[in-house]
Amino acid sequence: MTPTPDWTASTATARAWFEHLRDSICAAFEAIEREAGSDAAFQYTPWTRDAVAGEADTGGGVQGLMKGRVFEKVGVNVSTVHGAFSPQFAATINGASPDNPGFTATGISLVAHMANPHVPAVHMNTRFLTTTKAWFGGGADLNPPIPYDEDTADFHAAFKAACDAHSGGAGGDDYYGRYKAWCDEYFYIPHRKVHRGVGGIFYDHLECADAAGFDANFAFTKAVGETFLQVFPMLVRRRMGMDFTPEQKRQQLEWRGRYAEFNLVYDRGTLFGLKTGGNVDAILMSLPPEVVWS
């Protein structure tokens, strides 16, 4: 078995940031609820990962959930877990194998389903994983039942600016071009032949060879979280007071069916959580509160 580098301190640093980001996002979302005349607040439920034979402390997390007037259902979860993959699953994970199945993972995951169909739903997550390698992944994507070109443009412009600040500039590594294309490819529903939303960015396996690599990739990952916190509340406030018709609400509920189909059939994050003994309620918080299929 190959010795695994010690990324304990780096994992703790990433975890602290993810928890800070969680607190900032939840405060921002609760402020929007207050603007709408609602006293809705996040309810937090801690959980512990189920241990398997031979494992001791395996970590856990906190599920944050709010159901309000603007946010029909929003979950913001932070978890830090460690243990060993099953031999079959280890073969599918970067840097892991049946002979080296150990891992740690810390991250934040957010999904917001909105009451008003004019307000886009959204998904965001960032994470730090270690096996025999260490890497960051994450991204954010916008999922409007009723798309508006202005919202799509503003969302993409914000993440392009974040990517450009960390990708080496002109002639360098084009983070936005790569990660936008990756998002478009990933959030696609083959059996429907449609994309889940209007895109964003998605990145994975941003590897850290050493402390300098960790610092650079962590800085980019923090920029992704900060950009989300800056742009999404703006979009919510732009649309949350708009009137909508029963037909538009029906359109939203049908669109949510596509969202549920992707997350249950194709999403790697859902599979990772279920395969590593995560909290089922926290994993499936991404599913919409109400859905119809025509």
123 is catalytic: yes
Predicted pLDDT at 171: 44
Residue 17 lies in a domain: yes
Scanning the structure block, which residue is given the tokens 């059939």?
265
Intra-chain end-to-end CA distance of the chain, in Å:
53
What CA–CA distance (Å, rounded) separates 89 from 276? Answer: 9
Residue 82 has pLDDT above 90, yes or no: no
Render pLDDT for 173-215 as a digit per residue (tens, 0 to 9). Answer: 799 999 999 999 999 999 999 999 999 999 999 999 899 999 9
What is the number of domains present in the chain? Answer: 1
> What is the CB neighbour count within 10 angstroms for residue 246?
7
Residue 5 has pLDDT above 70, yes or no: no
Predicted pLDDT at 53: 54
Scanning the structure block, which residue is given the tokens 């069916």?
257
Evaluated on CA atoms 219, 283, 196, 122, the torsion sign reads negative
Predicted pLDDT at 84: 77
What CA–CA distance (Å, rounded) separates 17 from 217? Answer: 13
Residue 294 lies in a domain: no
Render pLDDT for 271-292 as a digit per residue (tens, 0 to 9). Answer: 877 877 678 888 888 899 999 9
Residue 25 has pLDDT above 70, yes or no: yes
Render pLDDT for 118-175 as a digit per residue (tens, 0 to 9). Answer: 999 999 999 999 888 999 999 999 999 999 999 999 999 999 999 999 986 444 579 9
Starting at the earlier edge strand, list the strands of the sheet with 71-84.
43-48, 59-66, 71-84, 102-114, 121-130, 134-143, 199-207
Residue 1 has pLDDT above 50, yes or no: no
Predicted pLDDT at 168: 62
Residue 52 has pLDDT above 70, yes or no: no
Predicted TM-score (pTM) of this structure: 0.91
Tell me which of 154 and 49 has the higher pLDDT: 154
Residue 2 lies in a domain: no
Residue 118 lies in a domain: yes
- Across residues 236-245, what is the average pLDDT? 98
The one catalytic residue among 82, 118, 123, 156: 123
Residue 293 lies in a domain: no
Residue 291 lies in a domain: no
Residue 1 lies in a domain: no
Percent share of the chain, pLDDT over 70:
93
Predicted pLDDT at 260: 93
Residue 51 has pLDDT above 70, yes or no: no
pLDDT tier for residue 57 given thresholds of 50, 70 and 90: low
What CA–CA distance (Å, rounded) separates 226 from 257? Answer: 29
Q: For the chain, what is the mean pLDDT?
A: 90
Residue 169 lies in a domain: yes
Kindly report the CATH number assigned to the domain that includes residue 223.
Answer: 3.40.1500.10
Predicted pLDDT at 167: 80
What CA–CA distance (Å, rounded) separates 79 from 82? Answer: 10
Q: Which domain holds residue 80?
A: 8-286
Residue 4 has pLDDT above 60, yes or no: no
Predicted pLDDT at 96: 67
